[in-house]
């Protein structure tokens, strides 16, 4: 891991602009590699956060992502991918961004320093005890994000913080601090680089691990996938054939009978009627493995 914090100006890259393109790329690649490696130390804390979030969300709780700048974009990306990948309800994802209404307009950087604005946005989102709030800040000093997390915690929500500097205000404000100590950047202070890569990695691990715990994955298959294009229909049919051991024709007919509900189709191919399959899934909270057992 690189030394220093995310804003530290290192000495190794002082002449970077005079290096060959190949050497610049190798330095950037090495920074990215160290960033991913830094995530390993955060896995125990991340696991505890996933288990706590799975227990908290219930049937109505929301995932609320909070951030400013590059961290905000990464949080938004993670949240927006949950619906097409796992069919997580879009109404249960909220993205709270500092100083932006439209991506074409860019960010108003000054809002990052406004803790009251973060608190106000959490109030506007009607954050409550069933919600899980994920705050992301490379330095851990974004007043907007810290203010949003403090307000979320006061409202009873479960709070997670992802930051690169141990002891930062963001990590002190949450119940589940996730430290990814990526250290100094090749381009000093450009935390969209190594810190951003580590943040993306942690968000991938968190949301995917959470979906596994919540039963949105069966084995290692995205059993909740929303069948909305040719590629995903092909994937759904392949999963159905693999799980139920049926023919292509049987898979296609049963999936159509069940309105493209892959989990229901699995149960029908195991001998249930579509109505009984729907009832079994409802009793199991949508968890296919529990319904099969």
CB 88 within 8 A of CB 62: no
Between CA 29 and CA 10 the distance in angstroms is: 17
pLDDT (tens, 9 = 90+) of the chain, 293 residues, equals 345 666 666 678 888 889 999 999 999 999 999 999 999 999 999 999 999 999 999 889 999 999 988 899 999 999 999 998 899 999 999 999 886 655 555 565 566 778 999 999 999 999 999 999 999 998 899 999 999 999 999 999 999 999 998 999 999 999 999 999 888 888 887 888 888 999 999 999 999 999 999 999 999 999 998 888 999 999 999 999 999 999 999 999 999 999 999 999 999 999 999 999 999 999 998 899 999 98
Q: Domain locations in the chain?
A: 21-213, 230-292
Secondary structure element (H or E) that encloses residue 67, with its range: strand 63-67
Between CA 181 and CA 215 the distance in angstroms is: 31
Domain range 230-292, CATH class: mainly alpha
Whether residue 112 lies in the annotated active site: yes
Q: Helix/strand/coil (H, E, C) string of 37-76?
A: HHHHHHHHHHHHHHHHHHHHHCCCCCEEEEECHHHHHHHH
Tell me whether domains 21-213 and 230-292 share a fold.
Answer: no
- Residue 104 buriedness (CB in 10 A; 0-12 / 13-18 / 19+): exposed
Q: Superfamily for 21-213?
A: Glucose-6-phosphate isomerase like protein; domain 1 (3.40.50.10490)
**Tokens (6 digits) for 270:** 């195991």
- pTM of the entire structure? 0.88
CB 227 within 8 A of CB 262: yes
CB 199 within 8 A of CB 227: no
**Tokens (6 digits) for 257:** 């009978």
Whether residue 228 lies in the annotated active site: no
Strand-pair partners of 162: 136, 178
Of 15, 26, 81, 228, the active-site residue reads 81
């Amino acid at each position: 891991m690189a030394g220093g914090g995310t804003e530290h100006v290192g000495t190794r890259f002082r002449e970077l602009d005079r290096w060959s393109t190949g050497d610049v790329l190798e330095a950037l690649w090495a920074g990215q590699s160290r960033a991913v490696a830094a995530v390993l130390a955060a896995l125990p804390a991340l696991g505890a956060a996933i288990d706590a979030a799975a227990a908290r969300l219930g049937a109505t709780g929301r995932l609320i992502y909070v951030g400013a700048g590059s961290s905000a974009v990464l949080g938004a990306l993670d949240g927006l991918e949950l619906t097409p990948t796992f069919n997580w309800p879009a109404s249960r994802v909220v993205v709270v961004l500092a100083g932006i209404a439209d991506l074409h307009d860019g960010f108003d950087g000054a809002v990052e320093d406004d803790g009251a604005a973060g608190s106000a946005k959490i109030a506007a989102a009607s954050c409550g005890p069933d919600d899980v709030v994920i705050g992301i800040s490379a330095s851990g000093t974004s007043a907007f994000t810290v203010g949003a997390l403090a307000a979320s915690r006061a409202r009873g929500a479960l709070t997670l913080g992802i930051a690169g500097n141990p002891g930062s205000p963001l990590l002190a404000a949450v119940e589940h601090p996730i430290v990814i100590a990526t250290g100094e950047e090749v381009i000093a202070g450009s935390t969209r680089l190594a810190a951003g890569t580590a943040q993306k990695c942690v968000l991938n691990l968190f949301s995917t691990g959470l979906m596994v715990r919540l039963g949105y994955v069966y084995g290692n298959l995205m059993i909740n996938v929303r069948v909305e294009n040719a590629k995903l229909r092909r994937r759904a049919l392949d999963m159905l054939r693999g799980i139920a051991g049926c023919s292509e024709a049987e898979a296609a007919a049963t999936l159509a009978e069940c309105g493209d509900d892959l989990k229901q189709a699995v149960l029908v191919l195991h001998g249930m009627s579509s109505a009984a399959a729907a009832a079994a899934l409802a009793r199991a909270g949508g968890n296919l493995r529990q319904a099969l057992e």
